[in-house]
Structure 1
């Protein structure tokens, strides 16, 4: 299913979010509303976590058919902190490995009264496909789709930038690394573009840069030293080895020398630039440890914001579902 189709299927008849499949097609106002609610849920590390009962009596099923730490745990924490029951299903414990179809798995969970399905899968188009067949009361959230989309990651990245930099219109933002295989790059670009980023740059080795029709309006570089000069935000990406053929995989030492975000290269960015990474990091490959742990790094803030963003998405999706139910009754 195309991105346009994914954007269409996620809205209900009144134009509100029923599912969250992609950030493509969301307005600036819709994204801002999600970020505002997420900010309400943000707490500093060491403080008591935000909690309410927005999802009390509801069941969230996490269906992760690809490995995950940050996204899976943060969705689980987000749902529990909103009062939901949570069921975790991974590839090893799923009947899908026995040949059960995805839709049969979904129908089984629906029969057990799961209300929200959080899905991560390597198959392009699967979240939107499932969203077309779920029962009217069931919502689907995309927790990472192949190389195409990771909407809650895009939102938490945008929240992090907004907290630290304010007006997007004044910013030069660089996304650097394995862009071709990165769903994070695509969702972050959609969020930054919609929020009016002043200048969006992308830098990658030529073999890891997507074709020209992707990411319209972006300034493209194959020289990281040029790309990083004068930027305010640097998002560096992991090499997506699981999505590459053997011939595409770069030599780690050479990659770090040519494209890694190092202390020396940080001297080319603006003095108050911030450095982001979606994790997991390949230290001293795409990013030097001194940078990842240094004063520019906001990587742990991204993780903290991830729980708040997923709380906001869950609460918004369920609120919209309750509004539809009220109209129908």
Structure 2
């Protein structure tokens, strides 16, 4: 059983699940459990089927207000949360951090209380500090808190959309060999992917990258850690590439981008070591020619754009689960 030890440690399972066993907030996939994860994936797939059949979506979130609180830049996550909420009939407020009272010293807790008093129903939170969404969840009176990425701790909806994308292509998660390559140590996506893959019984999770960008073995019991990229790719069913998190690293590995690509860049030749039907994934943004070759990112084995599309449906499912009356 893989039990990733994140930088921020709180009994989040007690915060995000209510006394009736229902999802109250979504902060992490750690200890969320297979039943909750499968239910969210199934709901996302059902919503996707409705949309792609050309049927009208029911306004499940009519009368609800969703506030995007993004303290870090985002393209995919913020846009897909907004689209997800609007498609379900919610009112969406994109909170302008730069012109808010937080710039005057107002605490996040007071900002939350103020917006809750305006009948806001959910807050989608991205923040550079680990544990910020959990901190807000502990102070929320009735609103739901959704973690859209906190520091290097967790990105649960990205983990869910990655699981859905793998399940779409492979039909299952259990029994698969998954290689996660790049800057694993500083990646919140990697953490959520590991928790989700473990919950759904992946056979093997391999973590690969330069030694300086890999977590300690005790932090990822059950995972296989290696700096040998070819070995990590050998007979893998799924290859998840990660960018270097320069904004979270004090000291970069001792080689330049060209040398990084030579050692850890995913090329067609390297991908041939994986299974012939292996899928290639990347949470974005992609740095072409650094962690992945353009012809692989755009190739037939790539499901990167499928991940982006699935992000909307996963976030619809999560919002509906938390907010539907």
2:118 aligned residue: 112
| Aligned 8 A contact 1:50 1:81 in 2 | no
Q: Please, which of 224, 227, 246 is the counterpart of residue 222 of structure 1?
A: 227
Instruction: Say whether 1:177 aligns with 2:176.
Output: no
Q: Does 1:125 align with 2:131?
A: yes
CA distance in 2, matches of 1:144, 1:250: 28
Deviates more, 1:161-170 or 1:49-58: 49-58
Could you say which residue in structure 2 is the equivalent of 1:25? Answer: 31
Please give the per-residue CA displacement for 1:256-312, whole angstroms capped at 9, x wherever unaligned. 000011111011111111000000001110111110001110000000000000000
**Match 1:144 to one of 132, 149, 152:** 149
> 1:4·1:24 contact (CA, 8 Å) conserved in 2?
no
Q: Which of 42, 46, 57 is 1:51 aligned to?
A: 57
Deviation at 1:112, TM superposition (A): 1.2
The answer on whether the counterparts of 1:65 and 1:90 sit within 8 Å (CA) in structure 2 is no
SS of 1:96's equivalent in the other structure is: helix
Distance 2:57 2:117 in 1: 28
- Offset of 1:14 from its aligned partner? 1.4
State the Cα RMSD in Å: 1.8
Whether 1:69 and 2:105 are equivalent positions in the alignment is no
CA-to-partner distance for each residue in 1:195-231, whole Å, 9 max, x for gaps? 0111111111100001112221011110101110110
2:287 counterpart of 1:264 = no
Counterpart Cα distance in 1 of 2:103 and 2:62: 32
Match of 1:327 in 2: none
How many residue pairs get aligned? The number is: 319
**CA deviation vs aligned residue, 1:100-156 (integer Å, no higher than 9, x gap):** 211111111111110001100001111111111111x21100000100000000000
SS at match of 1:210: coil
Distance 1:7 1:94 in 2: 31
Q: 8 Å contact 1:175–1:203 — kept in the other structure?
A: yes
**Structure 1 residues 246, 205: closer, same or farther in 2, change over 3 A?**
closer
Cα deviation for residue 43 of structure 1 reads 5.3
Q: Contact between 1:42 and 1:304, CA under 8 Å: does it hold in 2?
A: no
- Aligned residue among 200, 203, 209 for 1:198: 203
Q: Which runs of 5+ in 1 are unaligned?
A: 323-329
Residue 47 (structure 2) aligns with? 41
**1:45 touches 1:304 (CA, 8 Å); kept in 2?**
no
1:309 aligns to what? 314
Q: Distance in 1 between matches of 2:46 and 2:56?
A: 9
Counterpart Cα distance in 2 of 1:91 and 1:239? 26
- 2:194 and 2:266 map into 1 onto residues whose CA distance is 19
TM-score normalised by length of structure 1: 0.93
**Higher mean displacement: 75-84 or 107-116:** 107-116
2:298 to 290, 293, 296: 293
Shift of 1:97: 2.1
- C-alpha displacement at 1:46, in angstroms? 8.1
**Conserved? CA contact 2:183–2:213, under 8 Å:** yes
Following TM superposition, the consecutive aligned residue runs of length 4 or more in structure 1 with deviations greater than 3 angstroms are 1-4, 43-50, 246-250
Greater Cα offset, 83-92 or 245-254: 245-254
Aligned partner of 2:250 in structure 1 is: 245
TM-score (norm 2): 0.94
Match of 2:162 in 1: 157
Matched residue, 2:4: none
Question: In the superposition, relative to structure 1, how do residues 90 and 279 fare at CA in structure 2: closer, same or farther (>3 Å)?
Answer: farther
Question: Which is further off, 46-55 or 81-90?
Answer: 46-55
Structure 2 gaps, min length 5? 1-6
